[in-house]
Amino acid sequence: MIKKIAITSENVDFLEKISKLSDQVITKCDQCGTCSGSCPMVGEMDITPAQLMRMVLLGQEEVMDSKAMWICASCFACTVRCPRGLDVSRVAEALRQITLRQAVDHIDLNDIPDCEMKRLPQIALVSAGRKFTG
C-alpha cells in the first residue's frame, strides 16, 4: 500500500527539534546516498541512513519507529564521506536521545548470562547500557 503523508507545521517542529539536538543543518542533505553506501550495518537496517535523513527532513515522526538508529554503530563512515559535510551519525544520535531521555530500560544487564558476559567486549556492554537503558 502506498502511504500518504501530510506536510504540516508539526513536521517542521520535529525537523527543528532534531536539527537543534544534532546541531546539523539537515535541510542541506542532497539525498545522494553516500551514507547508505558507506554504512557497514545497512544490511541490518529497515530504512537506509539516507532515508532516515529524508524522513527527518520531511518531519515524519514515524522515523522514531524504525530500527536503523539503534543498529547504527556510530562508526562515522557516513560522516567522513558526506559530500555536504553533514554529520549523519549525530542525527542518528539525536533520534536516539529522544527515546533515551524517556529513561526506559529495555534490557537488564543482570539478565545477561555469565558466559555471554565473559565473551562480550566491554565496549559492547557500555554501548548497550547507553543505548538500551534509561
Partner 1 sequence: MKKIGVYICHCGGNISEVVDVKKVVAFAEKEADVALVRDHEHMCSETGQKLVMDDIAGHKLDKVVIAACSPQFQGPTFKATLEKAGLSPYVLEMANIREQCAWPHFDFPAEATEKAQGLARIAIAKARLDEPLTKKTFPIGKRVLVVGAGVAGIQASLDLADAGFDVHLVESKPSIGGKMLQLSRTFPTEDCAACILSPKMADVGANPNIHLWAYSEIEDIQGYLGNYKVTVRKKPTYVDPDKCTCCGECVDACPVAVPKELDEGLSTRKAIYLASPIAVPHSYVIDDKTCLGIFPLACGKCQDVCDPGAIDFDVYPESITFTVDTIVVGTGYEIFDATQKKVYGFGKYENVITALDMERMIVYASEGNPMRPMGKKIAFIQCVGSRDEQVKNEYCSRICCMYAVKLSQLVKRSDPKRDVYVFYTDLRAYGKGFEEYYKRGQAEGVKYIRGRPAELIEDPRTKKITLKVEDTLTRDIIESEFDLVVLSVGLRPHPGTERIANLLRLAKSPDGFLQEAHPKFRPVDTLTDGVFLAGTVQGPKDIPDTVAQASAASSRAIRLMNRGEYDVDPVMAFVHEASCDGCGLCVGQCPTNAISLASRGSNAGPSLSGKVAEINEALCKGCGSCIASCPKDALDLHCYTNDQLAEEIRAALAAKKGGDVRVLVFADDMTGYRLADNVGTAKMPYALDSRIIRVPSCCRITPKLMLQAFALGADGILLCESEAKSNPYPHSVSTIKSNLAKVKGILENEKIHRDRVRLVEFVTVMLGGFVKNINELSNFVRKLGPLSAEESGRLGQDMDKKLFG
| Residues of this chain that bind partner 1 (CB under 8 A) | 30-38, 42-43, 47-48, 50-51, 77, 80-85
Cα 130-126-64 angle, rounded to 5 deg: 30
Name the 3-class secondary structure at 93. Answer: helix
The dihedral formed by the CA atoms of 11, 14, 16 and 18, expressed in degrees to the nearest 10:
-140
Q: What's the min distance (Å) between Cβ of 31 and partner 1? A: 5
Q: What's the min distance (Å) between Cβ of 2 and partner 1? A: 14
Q: Residue 117 has which C-alpha cell? A: 558476559
Q: What's the min distance (Å) between Cβ of 81 and partner 1? A: 6
Measured from the CB atom, is 13 or 44 closer to partner 1? 44
Measured from the CB atom, is 51 or 89 closer to partner 1? 51
